[in-house]
Structure 1
Amino acid sequence: MAATMVNIADLLPSVLIHVPTCARPVAIHHIRLAAAEFLSGTTIWRETFTQTIEAATFVLDVPENTRAVQVHRVTYAGFDLEKARAAHIPAGEVPASPPSHFYQAEVGKLSVYPFTECDLDITVSLTVPKAGAWAQELPDAVISDYGDVIADGAAGKLMLLPGTDYANPAMAAHLIAQFEAKIGELSARGATGIARAPLRVKPSWL
């Protein structure tokens, strides 16, 4: 099930309390930057979707204005594919049979081995692009649980901007340290995101 999305502008009050004279577009831009860093570092925003594949290597069909950080799980006909390294996949023509392994050689793309045209259920962690005015939303669960963390990260970076009346390097260092510490904490404990994947089952044809 897709996450319920809310506008990142909902975090503006939590940012502007630190930098009250900051222009709204500048604040939103830094919220987006902080969100991208937080989501990339923690991989807590996860979505599962079904994709029909027509080639052994294909572009992941992730929601608009998002970027896939990591592929966590791929299933075919109810069985989990094994994660592999590209170097471990046999060279040459890909056999035409149900896939048993997957690997990610390029950002935003996925490869399977062997290959046959089929539907796959794919679980990925997502982030928002750092650039682009259209990335305006975040999952409600992320805002509810970690909105203050993202807001502090954004405010900290804003306080480093020279020539502003809200520049405050000391407070910036404090807020950024808290922001980075939370990313490290969630990453270290292996945050599992919105939905926890079931235990892996090896395909019966292996």
Structure 2
Amino acid sequence: MPTMVSTRELLPLIAPFAPTCPDFITAQQARFAAIEFCERSRAWRHVVTTTVTDREMTPVVPDTATIHEIEFAEWGESRDKLTPVQFSTIKGDIEGRPHYVTQVNPHAITVSPFEEGEIRISMFLKPLSATEYGSDPANPLEDRFNVIPDFFVSIHGSTLAAGTLARILSIPDEPWTNPQEAQRYWMIFQDKLNQSFRANMRGQQRAPIRTRFKDF
């Protein structure tokens, strides 16, 4: 799992172009831009090997992130392929070796038929769309969910800055509102999203382009 950093790390790339926008609004909108970036680009891949012991759910990602899509899953030492499916399609009364994997909440999965064992699972993640203020007494306006992987800042910082500016400059009736500039940044953001998606698909070691499982 990459180191998670505050979306405030992106402020130097954003604040000069919207200097009157409060930092806490910019930090939140940067997370929303990161969510869209993850959905479109599949840039945040998380591969984990863990033991499934609970029929109800097995957590596989931290609580500040959510599974956007299950790329693949393998079961046991034999690495049998599991098929990602919607939770509503599985049946709890069947028995046997697992054939399916499904997301049961933003952070957890289970297998069907259920059996205790080891799973290796690759997922595309995104930041969680939630809000929780007050967890840091020193900064009560800090939303603890405003975090992104550290490599997003170093590699995708300009993309996220464009997406954030498109959002904050389009907020109506504020001193920093600028619809024309918002539209310009929106076009830049969309172009960068398309570029990132193509690059990530090419980088999957010749894996076929596919979309198997929709977000929970």
Deviates more, 1:136-145 or 1:107-116: 107-116
Write the deviation string for residues 30-50 of structure 1: whole angstroms up to 9, x where unpaired: 111111111122221111122
SS at match of 1:116: coil
Higher relative contact order (CA 8 A, sep 6+): 1
Write the deviation string for residues 97-121 of structure 1: whole angstroms up to 9, x where unpaired: 3x24434577655343443211211
Partner of 1:156: 166
Partner of 2:53: 54
SS at match of 1:138: strand
SS at match of 1:17: helix
8 Å CA contact retained: 2:63, 2:107? no
Write the deviation string for residues 2-55 of structure 1: whole angstroms up to 9, x where unpaired: 213332211001111110111111111111111111112222111112232235
TM-score normalised by length of structure 1: 0.79
Looking at structure 2, the residues matched to 86 and 139 of structure 1 have their Cα atoms a distance apart, in angstroms, of 27
Deviates more, 1:124-133 or 1:76-85: 76-85
TM-score normalised by length of structure 2: 0.76
Looking at structure 2, the residues matched to 139 and 33 of structure 1 have their Cα atoms a distance apart, in angstroms, of 14
8 Å CA contact retained: 1:73, 1:80? no
- Which residue, out of 164, 181, 191, partners 2:200? 191
Gaps of 5+ in 1: 201-206
Does residue 25 of structure 2 align to residue 15 of structure 1? no
Q: Given the superposition, is the C-alpha separation of residues 56 and 186 from structure 1 closer, same or farther in structure 2, using an over 3 Å criterion?
A: farther
Write the deviation string for residues 121-177 of structure 1: whole angstroms up to 9, x where unpaired: 111111112332212322222221111111111111111122222211111101011
8 Å CA contact retained: 2:92, 2:113? no
8 Å CA contact retained: 1:100, 1:112? yes
RMSD of aligned residue pairs (Cα, Å): 3.0
Q: Given the superposition, is the C-alpha separation of residues 85 and 106 from structure 1 closer, same or farther in structure 2, using an over 3 Å criterion?
A: same
SS at match of 2:31: helix
8 Å CA contact retained: 1:156, 1:176? yes
Partner of 1:204: none
Q: How many residues align?
A: 195
SS at match of 2:109: strand
